[in-house]
Amino acid sequence: MEFTAQQIADFLGGEIEGNPLVKVSSFSKIEEGKPGTLSFLSNPKYSQFIYDSLASIILVNKNFNPEKEISATLIRVDDAYQSLAVLLSLVEQTKPQKTGISELAFIASTAKIGENAYIAPFVYIGENVTIGDNIKIHAQCSIEDGVSVGDNVRLYSGVKIYNDCVIGNNCTFHSGSVIGSDGFGFAPTEDGSYKKIPQMGNVIVEDNVEIGANSIVDRATLGSTIIRKGVKIDNLVQIAHNVEVGSNTVIAAQTGISGSTKLGKQCILAGQVGVAGHLNIADGTIFGAQTGVPNSVKLPNQTLQGYPAIPIMTFHKAAIVHKNLPELQKMIYAMQKKIEELENKISSISE
Amino acid sequence: MEFTAQQIADFLGGEIEGNPLVKVSSFSKIEEGKPGTLSFLSNPKYSQFIYDSLASIILVNKNFNPEKEISATLIRVDDAYQSLAVLLSLVEQTKPQKTGISELAFIASTAKIGENAYIAPFVYIGENVTIGDNIKIHAQCSIEDGVSVGDNVRLYSGVKIYNDCVIGNNCTFHSGSVIGSDGFGFAPTEDGSYKKIPQMGNVIVEDNVEIGANSIVDRATLGSTIIRKGVKIDNLVQIAHNVEVGSNTVIAAQTGISGSTKLGKQCILAGQVGVAGHLNIADGTIFGAQTGVPNSVKLPNQTLQGYPAIPIMTFHKAAIVHKNLPELQKMIYAMQKKIEELENKISSISE
Amino acid sequence: MEFTAQQIADFLGGEIEGNPLVKVSSFSKIEEGKPGTLSFLSNPKYSQFIYDSLASIILVNKNFNPEKEISATLIRVDDAYQSLAVLLSLVEQTKPQKTGISELAFIASTAKIGENAYIAPFVYIGENVTIGDNIKIHAQCSIEDGVSVGDNVRLYSGVKIYNDCVIGNNCTFHSGSVIGSDGFGFAPTEDGSYKKIPQMGNVIVEDNVEIGANSIVDRATLGSTIIRKGVKIDNLVQIAHNVEVGSNTVIAAQTGISGSTKLGKQCILAGQVGVAGHLNIADGTIFGAQTGVPNSVKLPNQTLQGYPAIPIMTFHKAAIVHKNLPELQKMIYAMQKKIEELENKISSISE
DSSP per residue, B132-191: -TT-EE-TT-EE-TT-EE-SS-EE-TT-EE-TT-EE-SS-EE-TT-EEEEPP--EEE-TT
pLDDT at position C142 is 98
Which of B81, B228, B325 is the best substitution to test chain A (most A C-beta atoms within 10 A)?
B325
C329: closest CA among B327, B344, A289?
A: B327
C141: closest CA among C153, C128, C156?
A: C156
Q: Are C271 and C290 in contact (CB under 8 A)?
A: yes
* C268 Cα to chain A: minimum distance (Å): 19
Distance CA A184, CA B253 (A): 9
pLDDT at position C348 is 84
B173: closest CA among A160, A182, A110?
A: A182
Q: Are A47 and A103 in contact (CB under 8 A)?
A: no
Scanning A67-96 for CB atoms below 8 A from C yields 79, 81-82, 84-86, 88-89, 91-92
Task: Give yes or no for residue C351 having a pLDDT over 70.
Answer: no
Task: Give yes or no for residue A95 having a pLDDT over 90.
Answer: no
B289: closest CA among A246, A250, C272, A284?
A: C272
Task: Give yes or no for residue A43 having a pLDDT over 80.
Answer: yes
pTM: 0.96
C158 touching A (Cβ < 8 Å): yes
Chains that touch C (3 or more CB pairs under 8 A): A, B
A75: closest CA among A90, A57, A48?
A: A57
> How much of chain C exceeds pLDDT 70, in percent?
100
pLDDT at position C96 is 85
Phi, psi of B347, rounded to the nearest 5 degrees:
-60, -45
Which ipTM value was assigned to this complex?
Answer: 0.95
> How far is Cα of residue A111 from the mean position of the Cα atoms in its chain?
32
Distance CA A239, CA B212 (A): 12
Q: Are A245 and A231 in contact (CB under 8 A)?
A: yes
Task: Give yes or no for residue A141 having a pLDDT over 80.
Answer: yes
Scanning B184-223 for CB atoms below 8 A from A yields 208, 210, 212-214
Task: Give yes or no for residue B351 having a pLDDT over 80.
Answer: no
Distance CA B131, CA C143 (A): 30
Question: pLDDT digit string (tens) for A103-116?
Answer: 999 999 999 999 99
Question: pLDDT digit string (tens) for C213-263?
Answer: 999 999 999 999 999 999 999 999 999 999 999 999 999 999 999 999 999
CA dihedral A289, A291, A296, A301 (to 10 degrees): -30
Task: Give yes or no for residue A351 having a pLDDT over 70.
Answer: no
Contact between chains at B321 and C339 (C-beta distance less than 8 A): no
On the CB side of C271, CA atoms within 13 Å amount to 27
Distance CA A180, CA B138 (A): 14
Confidence of residue C19 (pLDDT cuts 50, 70, 90): very high
> How much of chain A exceeds pLDDT 70, in percent?
100
Confidence of residue B258 (pLDDT cuts 50, 70, 90): very high
Question: pLDDT digit string (tens) for A167-215?
Answer: 999 999 999 999 999 999 999 999 999 999 999 999 999 999 999 999 9
The CATH code of the domain at B159-308 is 2.160.10.10
Distance CA C61, CA C304 (A): 29
Task: Give yes or no for residue C1 having a pLDDT over 80.
Answer: no
* A45 Cα to chain B: minimum distance (Å): 30
Q: What is the mean pLDDT of chain B?
A: 95
HEC sequence for C131-160? ECCCCEECCCCEECCCCEECCCCEECCCCE
Which of C78, C98, C122, C123 is the best substitution to test chain B (most B C-beta atoms within 10 A)?
C122
**Catalytic annotation present for A174:** no
Distance CA A131, CA A278 (A): 33
C121 touching A (Cβ < 8 Å): no
Q: Which amino acid is at B146?
A: G
Chains that touch A (3 or more CB pairs under 8 A): B, C
Task: Give yes or no for residue B347 having a pLDDT over 90.
Answer: no
Distance CA A85, CA A83 (A): 5
Q: Are C173 and C154 in contact (CB under 8 A)?
A: yes
Distance CA B165, CA B143 (A): 9
A238 touching C (Cβ < 8 Å): no
- Euclidean distance between the first and final Cα of chain C, in Å? 98
CATH class assigned to A3-94: alpha beta
A156: closest CA among A181, A173, A131, A169?
A: A173
Confidence of residue B174 (pLDDT cuts 50, 70, 90): very high
B213: closest CA among A199, C166, A122, A193?
A: A199
Tally helices (H) and strands (E) across chain B.
4, 40
Task: Give yes or no for residue A350 having a pLDDT over 80.
Answer: no
Task: Give yes or no for residue B311 having a pLDDT over 90.
Answer: yes
Task: Give yes or no for residue C319 having a pLDDT over 90.
Answer: yes
Residues 6+ apart with CB under 8 A from A340: none
Q: What's the whole-number mean pLDDT along residues B205-210?
A: 98
Q: Are C127 and C111 in contact (CB under 8 A)?
A: yes
Q: Are C140 and B122 in contact (CB under 8 A)?
A: yes
Phi, psi of C18, rounded to the nearest 5 degrees:
125, -155
Task: Give yes or no for residue B343 having a pLDDT over 90.
Answer: no
- Weakest mean pLDDT among A18-22, A45-49, B242-246, C344-348: C344-348
pLDDT at position C257 is 98
Distance CA B215, CA A236 (A): 11
Distance CA A244, CA A257 (A): 10
Q: Which amino acid is at C124?
A: Y
Give chain B positions within 8 Å (CB) of C59.
Answer: none
pLDDT at position C52 is 92
> How much of chain A exceeds pLDDT 90, in percent?
92
pLDDT at position B1 is 76
pLDDT at position A96 is 86
Which of B143, B159, B181, B191 is the best substitution to test chain C (most C C-beta atoms within 10 A)?
B181
- Euclidean distance between the first and final Cα of chain A, in Å? 98
Task: Give yes or no for residue B95 having a pLDDT over 90.
Answer: no
Q: What's the whole-number mean pLDDT along residues A134-140?
A: 98
Contact between chains at C175 and B140 (C-beta distance less than 8 A): no
Cross-chain CB nearest to A323 (options C254, C256, C310) = C310
